[in-house]
Structure 1
Amino acid sequence: MQTFNKPELIRFKHVDFAGIVFYPRFLEMLNDLVEDWFAQALDRPFSKMHQTGQGIPTVDLKVQFKKAARIGDVLDKSLWVIGVGGASVTCGFRFSHADGTTCLEGEVTLVNVAIDKATDGIKADPFSDEMRDRISQFTIHNS
């Protein structure tokens, strides 16, 4: 299994009055991870994708919060592919503390879409064979 990994320093902007990460900030960190994966590993940065009338919205999200994170912590954010459909990809993700304990984990399903600016319509648009091959490099292979 190949995973995409990025560290995340927990900053003051992430925490609430109790001194722990406010849960919506975790979803922003997940979105950053997905955006970095597309830009750095798949060579499909969101900035270029959106210029060409395409997008990759989240259509399903499952998250389990396991342990709090506090200011100054550095989390290892990991993402991998569980499955690829015609225009969709389901990814697993995990944010872990330096000692290996899981902070949160879950699954996110993204759909490749074409955006028609004239009609403000959005429809699923199958991945190209090249993009499917790039995505597939991150797929879990069960033995």
Structure 2
Amino acid sequence: MSQPFIKKEKIRFKHIDYAGIVFYPRFLEMLNDLVEDWFEEALKRPFSKMHETNGIPTVDLKIQFKNAARIGETLTKKLWVKELKSSSIVCGFQFVNQNEQTVLEGEVTLVNVKIQEDRQSIKAEAFNEEMKVKISSFII
């Protein structure tokens, strides 16, 4: 059985709002960091190289906030593949606190795109077979 990609993140002062809880846009940044880490560490396709000619933009995002996260807490961030299509991936994600409470969960759709040389347009591009195999190892 496949396993999700997992990273931990400590909630810092930069993440919180005046109420002392994580300000919701910071969660989206944390999710993007998780996707970027997954591509670099697990799929061996770092954004620093990929974005020279390609991209992997988010085209759909569904998120539910379940519990607040506070400064000093450590979140376990999990990402897995729900569906792999020719040029897109639907991933599930969940952030859990140290008390095993779900802080947020949802689904993100990413599309593999080719950036034209003039950088004025992008077009969906199918994943190559090697990348499909790597991504498939995270299907749950």
RMSD, matched Cα:
0.7
Match status 1:21 vs 2:28: no
SS of the residue aligned with 1:36? helix
Q: Per-residue displacement from partner, 1:43-101 (whole Å, max 9, x unpaired)?
A: 000000012x1000000000000000000000000000000000000000000011111
Which residue of structure 2 aligns with residue 121 of structure 1? Answer: 121
* Distance (Å, rounded) in 1 between the aligned partners of 2:117 and 2:14: 34
SS of the residue aligned with 1:138? coil
Structure 1 letter corresponding to 2:16 = V
**Structure 2 unaligned regions, length at least 5:** none
Which residue of structure 2 aligns with residue 35 of structure 1? Answer: 36
Q: Which runs of 4+ in 1 moved over 4 A?
A: none
Which residue of structure 2 aligns with residue 102 of structure 1? Answer: 102
TM-superposed deviation, 1:117: 3.2
* Distance (Å, rounded) in 2 between the aligned partners of 1:98 and 1:72: 11
* Distance (Å, rounded) in 2 between the aligned partners of 1:50 and 1:38: 12
With normalisation by structure 1, the TM-score equals: 0.96
Which residue of structure 2 aligns with residue 49 of structure 1? Answer: 50
Once the two structures are aligned, what percentage of the paired residues are identical? Answer: 63
* Distance (Å, rounded) in 1 between the aligned partners of 2:30 and 2:42: 17
* Distance (Å, rounded) in 2 between the aligned partners of 1:37 and 1:7: 13
TM-superposed deviation, 1:119: 5.8
SS of the residue aligned with 2:3? coil
With normalisation by structure 2, the TM-score equals: 0.98
TM-superposed deviation, 1:2: 1.1
